Structure 1
Amino acid sequence: MDYKQSLNSSLRSAWIIIKLVIPIYIFAEVLYYYNILSYISFLVEPLTTFLDLPKEAALSILSGVFLNLYAAIAFAAPLDLTAKEWTILGVFLGICHSLIVETAVMKKIGLPNGYSILLRVIGGVIVAFLVTFLPNELFNSDVSNAIVEKKEYVNLLDVLVKSLIGSIKLTIEIIILISLIILFMDYVKSRAFIKKFEKNLSRNFSIFVGVILGITYGAGILIKEAKSSSLTKRDIFFIGTFLMICHAIIEDTLLFVIFNANLYIIVVFRVIAAIIFSIFLLKLYDRRVI
């Protein structure tokens, strides 16, 4: 195994992701600081009604879709949502969040922006809507005592400085994690008894990383594997589709569980939805429908 080549490959993959993440990370913080999304939250109120959520949850949904889950939770925390409402919100935003960043990342592995956005919005609505039919008895009746403090900024300069520092920390994390994962993966693939399973290993490992760590890290692996020809365009379509429905399944879910959202419902619904959507859409892909 050539460790130097693997390290260079991992750094190139990480750099592609970093160039997308840093400017969008800072842009998202500026949107949050000026509370710009509050001016258009009324557009999402019909969706909150459809999902049996209070209309006040519209700003939380918009913040999650365009910014990140932490902003979404900060706006949802004061609303005194029930455990079922937190679960519905967790399912929808677990699938459909951080669209600006993650759609750009998916574009780098070859999935069109329109496809990524439509899949996650439609998928999120469908799966969250199905949760509304579950009986209330499945959900915790205790009132959550969790507290979330909103980020406070002094002025725009403070926003830019803190978001730059945050993006740098994220950059270091991306470089370290992607490098370690790719080095480990290349080591495993260099073993003689593994070589005949190399394609399946690349596909399954990419899904595993994305499901556990999220789209950003999973895409870093995909970019590297796509360039090394370990994965076909069909493989990338399948993996990308699966990960857009089911990624960062632990971290994202736990953010809602602290407010009494049902862990098992969120995980099971997202995993099953990812399997169904990816298999169904792969059949359409094979028929050149999409």
Structure 2
Amino acid sequence: MLSYLITICVRSVRMFTTVARIMLPVMLIVYIADRLGLVRLSGEVLAPVMGLLGLPPEAGIIWATTLLTNIYAGMATMAVLSDNLQMNVAQISALGAMMLFAHNIPTEQSIVRKAGASALITGGLRLGIGALYGGLTAWICNAFGLLQAPVSLAWMHHDEALQQGPQDFLTWIWNTAESMVLVFVVIVALVLLLDVLERFGITRQITRLLTPVLRLSGLEERAAPLTTVGVLLGLAYGGALIIEAADRENFSPRTRLLALSWLSLCHALIEDTVLILAIGADIWVVLVFRTLATLGILALMARLTLPGTPWGNRLQADARPGRGPG
């Protein structure tokens, strides 16, 4: 029993160290950029784009903050702007979906790159699909008069936790340390859980149930449990498991690309979705149709990366010694 626990701990520490080496430098760079006002500047640059998508200019600042940091910071920015921010359910749902598709890009796509897929492709996918989905949601709802009820954000203005500005350095260090401890605890729990599921044959049952979805998305069956973990809990945890599993089980470049594209577009399905629902978004837009859109994108990517296609041939070339993801 003791040797088993030691093995689990060693494996978990190795996975955590790999992820921490990626996350911490990127998180520090983003924090400095935020303190210098570069995040808000990025939002002002995005303001004209928001107009094209049928969203108010302030949505640019909110999305830019979310893109470079996380959904919590995006909600905090929304709270700061809430006095002058007037949006209906359709617009909140569109912006919320954009935040879910694309957030914390620097940190999460660094993890994706380490796991074996192109950060440029997966990051561009998140930005492009996020903007397209948000724009289509706003345009369709406006054209057909759907979800036009106004949303009150007054409660956010009175929430002191959301109203806080950028953290001072000591607070940032403390909060970052808490986040990293949480990441480690979750990784240990997931390693234990996956080992138990494997020993009792539950993993095979889960994989069998997911077979239709796997065929549609082009994934190998071996990647199903790890992808499911990331979809439900988050990219940091799913990415850490895939980094380890990709080396251990020698996943093909195509499997890595498809699995990590899936995780990039749709992860932390429970926690993040609940946050966006709390600000007044519609569950059909931010959960049901978003998940279906993700599966549709994966099905298309699976077709485009089949052996013999230009993209498929390039992925096969990347599998050769000395080649790696961009």
The TM-score, its normalising length taken from structure 2, stands at: 0.79
Deviation at 1:184, TM superposition (A): 1.6
**Which residue, 161, 182, 185 being the options, matches 2:170?**
161
Deviation at 1:23, TM superposition (A): 2.6
Cα gap change, 1:107 to 1:49, in 2 (>3 Å): same
Distance (Å, rounded) in 1 between the aligned partners of 2:202 and 2:31: 48
Contiguous gaps of at least 5 residues in structure 2: 209-218, 315-326
Aligned residue for 1:252? Answer: 272
Q: Please list, as runs of the form range in 1=range in 2, the aligned pairs for 1:218-229 lying within 5 A after superposition.
A: 218-229=238-249
Distance (Å, rounded) in 1 between the aligned partners of 2:52 and 2:184: 41
Aligned residue for 2:213? Answer: none
2:61 paired with 1:59: yes
Tell me, yes or no, if the aligned pair for 1:206 and 1:221 is still in contact at 8 Å: yes
**Which residue, 93, 101, 112 being the options, matches 1:87?**
93
Deviation at 1:193, TM superposition (A): 8.3
**Which residue, 282, 285, 296 being the options, matches 1:262?**
282
2:41 paired with 1:35: no
Q: Please list, as runs of the form range in 1=range in 2, the aligned pairs for 1:95-114 lying within 5 A after superposition.
A: 95-114=101-120
Deviation at 1:39, TM superposition (A): 2.8
Aligned residue for 1:180? Answer: 189
Q: Pick which of 57-66 and 199-208 moved more.
A: 199-208
Deviations 1:236-276 (A, max 9, x none): 22211111111112222222222211122100122111111
Aligned residue for 1:125? Answer: 131
What count of residue pairs does the alignment treat as equivalent?
A: 286
Quick one: which amino acid aligns to residue 125 of structure 1?
A
Quick one: which amino acid aligns to residue 259 of structure 2?
I
Tell me, yes or no, if the aligned pair for 1:139 and 1:261 is still in contact at 8 Å: no
Q: Pick which of 119-128 and 133-142 moved more.
A: 133-142
Distance (Å, rounded) in 2 between the aligned partners of 1:205 and 1:82: 38
Tell me, yes or no, if the aligned pair for 1:140 and 1:262 is still in contact at 8 Å: no
The DSSP-based 3-state class of the residue aligned with 1:247 is coil
Tell me, yes or no, if the aligned pair for 1:83 and 1:259 is still in contact at 8 Å: no
Deviations 1:194-236 (A, max 9, x none): 6797996642222221122111111011112112207443322
Tell me, yes or no, if the aligned pair for 1:144 and 1:258 is still in contact at 8 Å: no
Deviation at 1:68, TM superposition (A): 1.6
Tell me, yes or no, if the aligned pair for 2:261 and 2:298 is still in contact at 8 Å: yes
Aligned residue for 1:151? Answer: 164
The TM-score, its normalising length taken from structure 1, stands at: 0.88
Quick one: which amino acid aligns to residue 267 of structure 1?
L
Distance (Å, rounded) in 2 between the aligned partners of 1:251 and 1:176: 17
Tell me, yes or no, if the aligned pair for 1:26 and 1:160 is still in contact at 8 Å: no
Distance (Å, rounded) in 2 between the aligned partners of 1:152 and 1:243: 30
Tell me, yes or no, if the aligned pair for 2:19 and 2:240 is still in contact at 8 Å: yes
Cα gap change, 1:40 to 1:137, in 2 (>3 Å): closer
Tell me, yes or no, if the aligned pair for 1:6 and 1:183 is still in contact at 8 Å: yes
**Which residue, 6, 12, 15 being the options, matches 1:13?**
15
Cα gap change, 1:93 to 1:200, in 2 (>3 Å): same
Distance (Å, rounded) in 2 between the aligned partners of 1:42 and 1:261: 23
Tell me, yes or no, if the aligned pair for 1:146 and 1:258 is still in contact at 8 Å: no
Distance (Å, rounded) in 2 between the aligned partners of 1:75 and 1:193: 43
Tell me, yes or no, if the aligned pair for 1:215 and 1:247 is still in contact at 8 Å: yes
Higher relative contact order (CA 8 A, sep 6+): 1
